[in-house]
Amino acid sequence: MKKIVKSVLLIIVIIFLLLYVLSRMTINNTSTWAYLIDMLNPMVTTETVYANAPTKTIEEYRDNANNKTDYSYKVNSYNQSGQKRQIQVTSYGSKLKLDSHRYLKIRAKGQYVGDFRIVTDNQVPKKVINYLRH
C-alpha cells in the first residue's frame, strides 16, 4: 500500500513539474505549440494585458472557413505589474485599422489570446501606459 501511495505522489509531483516547466518555456514563444500548451495548461492564468497598436502584419493567410484573409500581428504586451510578454494576435477577416493613439486590450492565457479589442489611452491603466511609452 505504501508503494502505491508513493508512486501516485511521485506521478503527481512529476505532472506539476512538467506543467510548470512548460508554462515557463512558452513565454515569448508565438508558435502554435506554445499557444496550445498555454490554452490547455491549468497552471497558466488568464490576465488582461495591453499592447501598442501593431503597425504591420507578420502573416496573412486565406481562411478556408469563411474564404476571407486573416492577419496576424506580433505585439509586446504588458500586464498591470509591468511584466512584458510577446504574443501573437490574429484579426479574422480584416486588417486592424489603428493609429498611434490606439492600444489593444488583450485577454490572454499565456500565449493563448482569448479575445482583444481596440481601446484609447484613457482606457489603459496609467501604470501600463508608462510601460507602453518606453
pLDDT for the residue 125:
92
Note the pTM of the prediction, 2 decimals: 0.82
What CATH number matches the domain at 1-133, 1.25.40.10, 2.130.10.10, 2.40.50.480, 3.90.380.10?
2.40.50.480
Q: State residue 101's pLDDT score.
A: 75
Per DSSP, 5 falls in state: H
Angstrom distance (rounded) from CA 69 to CA 92:
7
pLDDT above 90 covers what percent of the chain? 54
pLDDT the model gives residue 105: 96
Listed by start position, the domains of the chain span: 1-133
Residue type, 59: E
pLDDT per position as a tens digit, 42-52: 999 999 999 99
Q: Are 43 and 19 in contact (CB under 8 A)?
A: yes
User: What percent of the chain has a predicted confidence (pLDDT) above 70?
Assistant: 99
Q: Give the pLDDT confidence of 16-45 residue by residue, as tens digits.
A: 999 999 888 888 888 889 989 999 999 999
